[in-house]
Amino acid sequence: MKRGVPLEPHVEARLQELGNVELLVGIPSYNNADTIAHVVRAAATGLAKHFPGRRAAIVNSDGGSDDGTAEIVARTELASPSAVLVSHPVSPVHKILTPYHGIPGKGSAFRTVFAIADRLQAKACAVVDSDLRSITPEWFELLLGPIVTQGFDYVAPMYLRHRFDGTITNSIVYPLTRALYGREVRQPIGGEFGFSGRLASHYLDKPVWESDVARFGIDIWMTTTAIADGFKVCESFLGAKIHDPKDPGADLAAMLVQVVSAVFDLMETYEDRWKTVEGAEDVPLFGFPHGVGLEPVNVNVGRMVSIFRQGVRDLGEVWARALEEETLDRVTALDDPREEAFHFPDSLWVRVVYDFALAYRRGALNPEQLLRSLVPLYLGRTASFVLKNRDSGAEEVEESIQALAEEFVREKDYLRERWK
């Protein structure tokens, strides 16, 4: 296989049969027997409906499912495109780190999709999660259309989400990425993306495939690489993303460590790029934003505040190695015994994130230890956000998120000056 990505012999034979295609849809999966057939049928219908007459392929890159996922894909009848079933081995380390979107080795799965896209000389590609219940055939027009008809290289998703869903995105990844690279991409780790064939080849050529960034932070790596390397980026509105929403305080610690470590590693890679960027500008938006029904997200504020307070008691020495003295003093002063009065200001949260990025860069602590110590701070910030916005509507909540994003931009000089 070109560019050193090995494929099973039967897959190689299938690709030989196919020749070249114009469009390719990749569906990484891991134990998604309940939803995979729906996602494959949506992809096939979308391709047939919106791109009739164009040669297309659907690739299922499966990470070693043991629930029959791959067999279901093989049995699923398609409207017109050819389907290629791809399996790849999963190492134990990938299984340990499954909380990142629930797919062991998601980076490995994406690399296989990129390699097949490159091999088949696809002009436009899309990848979608395999556990989606809200996906429709129209998503594929929105993810592929801007590439096919408008010459874009990267299509990020825009969703409506419950106001307390996506808290890692809303409090860290979105505002930090926006401040660093100067592009308004609202869902940089959304899970569904469109990309051109030339960007797929560019991804393959990056020397990251044995690194933690590619293994555990593939979504943010794709978005950041597309922006920082100067590709043409846009967004498409996909409506609601209905998956299995999680209580922000319940089980997102592993995901936080994985995603934030990827963001911080990328800051090293692209420091010459982000240090020169001022402000942030919108990218073109395709689709028609409209109101949609959203599933509720249960939030246990008391538990989050309790974990923050435990952090204040137990992690003072660790935080002292990551935070500036003034920042640490402000954090410890937040430990108000009255839960309803708990407030973690935007300005303080931005300083915390920037201080942690600087501590990560200088190797103040073992990276995983450092980022795990960020979890109680993140939960404290999230609890404060929920308390502040518990009676707010979706528009008011979005205004709060935008205010935080602007604070990241205003404080960027603080980061730049200390990065040296």
Task: Measure CA 378 to chain center.
Answer: 17
- Closest CA relative to residue 62, chosen from 40, 88, 84, 44: 88
- Closest CA relative to residue 417, chosen from 354, 365, 349: 354
Determine contact, residues 155/295, Cβ cutoff 8 Å. no
- Closest CA relative to residue 335, chosen from 302, 310, 303, 361: 310
pLDDT tens, the chain, 420 aa long:
456 677 778 778 888 888 889 999 998 888 888 888 999 889 988 988 899 888 888 888 887 788 888 888 888 777 655 545 454 443 322 211 222 233 456 787 888 889 999 999 999 999 998 888 889 999 999 999 999 999 999 999 998 776 677 789 999 999 999 999 999 999 999 889 999 999 999 999 998 887 777 667 899 999 999 999 999 999 999 988 776 544 445 557 788 998 999 999 999 999 999 999 999 999 999 998 765 555 566 678 899 999 999 999 999 999 999 999 999 999 999 977 677 789 999 999 999 999 999 999 999 899 999 999 999 999 999 999 999 988 888 788 889 999 999 999 999 999 999 998
Count of residues in the chain: 420
Q: Tell me, what's the pLDDT at 89? A: 40
Task: Measure the CA–CA gap between 325 and 201, rounded to whole angstroms.
Answer: 46
CA distances from 138 to 40, 51, 89, 239, 346 (A): 13, 11, 32, 10, 37
Q: Tell me, what's the pLDDT at 297? A: 65
Residue recorded with tokens 């040296």: 420
Q: Kindly list the domain boundaries of the chain, sorted by start residue.
A: 2-286, 301-419
Fold for 2-286, please state it: Spore Coat Polysaccharide Biosynthesis Protein SpsA; Chain A (3.90.550)
Q: Tell me, what's the pLDDT at 251? A: 58
Q: Tell me, what's the pLDDT at 215? A: 67
Task: Measure the CA–CA gap between 350 and 307, rounded to whole angstroms.
Answer: 20
Q: Tell me, what's the pLDDT at 84? A: 52
Sign of the Cα torsion 260, 263, 265, 271 reads negative
